[in-house]
Each structure stands twice: as structure tokens, then as C-alpha cells.
Chain A
Amino acid sequence: MQDNIPRGRETDLLVSGQGSRDPPVPDLARALEQKLALLHEVDHRVKNNLQLITSLLKLQARRSCDPAVKLALTGAQQRVSAVATVHRRLFRGEEVERFDVAAFVEDLVDDVIGGAGRGDIQVRLNLEPVDLPATQAAPLALLISELLVNAVRHAFPNGRSGLISISVGRDADGLRVEIADNGVGMGTPAAAPGFGGTIVTLLSGQLGARRETIDADPGVRTVIRLPVNGRP
């Protein structure tokens, strides 16, 4: 990967910035320009590395003959892809510190439903744009991805068709995300939660989110409520 940051400028900046007769404004402008270039370079590398990691996991999943290994690698790839989807959106506009949950869900649904080859599952989206601090983006993205992938995998077995509805909006608590399906329902709870379930529990805790999963008969409905900007 080529480094296109003009390295020579760093020294120029230090020398001319202190005690020289140069007017200070061009230096500030140059420092700002340099900071922006560095930020873009880091962003570029993060995006490329995420691409590299997902391609690596996918290649290994393709190579493995054991179905359990293949499933585990595909699961890991899917989770890294959810984080990658967040980064694809960051830095596209001028906004770098906020993250639009609704736009993310649109991308995610496209990738998960399309990637699963389940054209028989319909998706209904009810999305209001809601901005979150970018620092919360990855855990929330993973949480939503887990719930969606879980619904796609388990709600409609044996070629059963159905509907998944996702809504994103604000309520008195802050952010409200609802994921519902009209599939086979929860059934008998497993003896121990799977890895997906563990991720959901851990990330809900990390985000300070309240999570409610009910047997909606038919299907399952999960609602996540997340305080936004320090509000309850």
C-alpha cells in the first residue's frame, strides 16, 4: 500500500511554526490540512484492513470441508462484515463523529438477506434517521446484525417463507430498535445460549441497552431501547 502523506511537510511545519517571521495563518491552515490528510489515511487503512479480514475469513470458510468449521468461519466473517458496514458509511460525508442507524440497517438488510439467498423472506423496514455517536456504532451494529441473522437462520426453517420487520426510531428513552418475525417462534429454550445469544447479552450490557424478547405468536419480537446522548 502506497503512503501518500507528504512526509517532508512535517519538518517544514515545526520549523516555520515557531519564532519565524512567517504569518501564522498559513501554518495553521497547513496543519489543519495535514491533520485531515492523516485522518483520511487512517480511515483508508482501516477500511482496507477490514476488507482484508473479511476476505481472509471467507477464503478460509470456502476451503474448509467440515460443516461446523465452515459455519463458525462464516459466522466470524458475518460479524466482521457488520463492523465493516459501519466503516463503509463513516467518512463518506463530512460527518465523522455521528452514525446513522437507519442507513446502516438498510445496508445490513441488503447484505444479510441477499447473502443468505433467502428471497422467500420479505423484509419490511420502518426507518427514521437517528444519529448516534460513532463510538457506539460498532457494538450496536453487531447487536442488530446478531438479531437479524438469528431471525433469518431460525425463524423460517424447511423453506417456510415469512416476513421480518425492522423499525428504528426515537422514543422517550432514546433510540428504539425493533426486530420482529412471523416465523416458528421461540420453542423450547436451549440448555445454554449459543454464541450469538452471548454476544447479544454482552453488547446490550455494554451499551446500557434494555432488551425485551417476547413470543409474539406468531414469531418472536425483540425490542432494544438505548439511551442517547446521556438521556435515560
Chain B
Amino acid sequence: MASCDPLNILIVEDEVLLAAELGYLIGEVGCIEVGHAMTSQEAVALARKLRPDLALVDVHLGDGPTGIDVARCIARDCGGVALFMTANVRRLPDDFAGACGVIGKPYSEHGVKMALVYLDACLRDGRAPGLPPAGLQLAPLWAELWGVHDMPRSA
């Protein structure tokens, strides 16, 4: 990724109204929404085709609780990073299925924007600009990779 290119983001969410509002928030922080998927098959196909930098992934999709598999697939062979957005933070696997973290629902507009700005910096520099903002919980592996040694909050 060139240093000044905006972050390309894929939305994986089966609630279309949530996806529409997320699209606005993505634009407002200077990132680009490259696509929107509602099922796991769509998500994987779009991720393979569009190679987004970041995918915002709900756990429950149109075809069931398949978001975790989507995240694993993106981490393994799409070259991008997934971020969970779910009301069920406690059900995520310990390894976060390779995703970089989670934003718990119900999230706030400001919380999502701050998380996107923060992750943009992390992905660009390979290092966190500081502790994650309120509302964003990083996966242990990524926190270590990005140099965030003490996690401020736990699930």
C-alpha cells in the first residue's frame, strides 16, 4: 500500500441499514468503501477480487454465524485484515480467527471513526500510534505485532 493511498474497506454485514451508515462513516474519515457483502460466500468472493486493506466483519451473516470463517479466510489468503463488529464479543475464538480486533455493538459513530483512524495508522506504519481508542479491542497477536504491550481493557 502506498503511504498516501486511502484505506480500502470491505463491509461484511447482513443488516443493510447498518452497512449504509458504516459506508458514510468510512467516507467521513477519508477511507474508501470498496464493496458490501451480506453472506460469507459473497464476502470471500469480494475479498478475493477486491483485495481490501481492511474488512469490517459481522459474525452473524445472511447464511448464519459464518463471519468467523470469513475472517479466517481473509487473513489466510486475501492479503487483508479483518475487524469484527459484533454484539457477541464473548463468543469470538481466542485467536480472533486472525482478525486484528473487535468493535462491540452497539458501537458509537465516534467510536467507529476513531477505530478506523487508529487502524489506518497501524496498517500504514506497522506500529500502533498509541493505545487503542475506547470501543476497539485488539487481538493479542496484532497488539503484540503493533507494539501495544499493555492492553487497557479486556472482554
Which residues of B does A touch, CB under 8 Å?
Answer: 14-15, 17-18, 20-21, 24, 60-61, 63-65, 87-91, 104-111, 114, 133-135, 155
A58 touching B109, Cβ below 8 Å: yes
Q: What residues of chain A lie closer than 8 Å to B134, measured between beta carbons?
A: 106-107, 110
**CB-CB contacts below 8 Å: A1-16 with B:** 1-2, 4
In the complex the two chains form, is B64's CB within 8 Å of A2's CB? yes
Q: With A and B bound together, what is the CA distance between A111 and B112 in angstroms? A: 10
In contact, B24 and A62 (Cβ under 8 angstroms): yes
- Residues of A close to B88: CB separation below 8 A: 40, 44
Tell me the complex Cα distance, A84–B15, Å. 17
Q: Contact at A92–B107, with CB atoms within 8 Å?
A: no
CB-nearest residue of chain A to B18: A55
Once bound together, how far apart are the Cα atoms of A59 and B17, in whole Å? 8
Residues in B whose Cβ lies below 8 Å from that of A106: 134
Contact assessment for A88 and B24 in the assembled complex, using a CB-CB cutoff below 8 Å: no
In whole Å, how far is A78's beta carbon from the nearest beta carbon of chain B? 10
Cross-chain contact B89 with A92 (CB below 8 angstroms): yes
Chain A nearest CB, measured from B18 CB (Å): 5
CB-CB contacts of A143-183 with B at 8 A, as 1s and 0s?
Answer: 00000000000000000000000000000000000000000
CA distance A40 to B88 in the complex (A): 8
Number of interface residues, chain A, beta carbon within 8 A: 31
A4 to B14, CA, bound (A): 16
Contacts of B64 in A (CB 8 A): 2, 4
Q: What are 25 A-to-B residue pairs whose CB atoms are below 8 Å?
A: A1-B14, A40-B88, A40-B90, A47-B105, A48-B87, A48-B106, A51-B105, A52-B15, A55-B17, A58-B109, A59-B21, A84-B106, A85-B108, A88-B104, A92-B89, A92-B90, A106-B134, A107-B108, A107-B134, A107-B135, A110-B110, A110-B135, A111-B110, A115-B108, A115-B109
Say whether A50 faces chain B, with CB atoms less than 8 Å apart.
Answer: yes
Asked whether A87 lies within 8 Å of B106 as measured between CB atoms, the reply is yes
Q: Which residues of A contact B87 (CB under 8 A)?
A: 43-45, 47-48, 51
Q: Which residue of A lies closest to B113 (CB)?
A: A114
Chain B: minimal CB distance from A148 (Å): 14
Q: A32-59 CB contact bits vs B (8 Å, 1 = yes)?
A: 0000000010011101101110111011
Question: Which residues in A have their C-beta under 8 angstroms from that of B21?
Answer: 55, 58-59
Smallest Cβ-Cβ distance to A58: which chain B residue: B21
In the bound assembly, the distance between CA atoms of A12 and B142 in angstroms comes to 43
Q: How near does chain B come to A193, taking the closest CB pair, in angstroms?
A: 27
Contacts of A88 in B (CB 8 A): 104-107
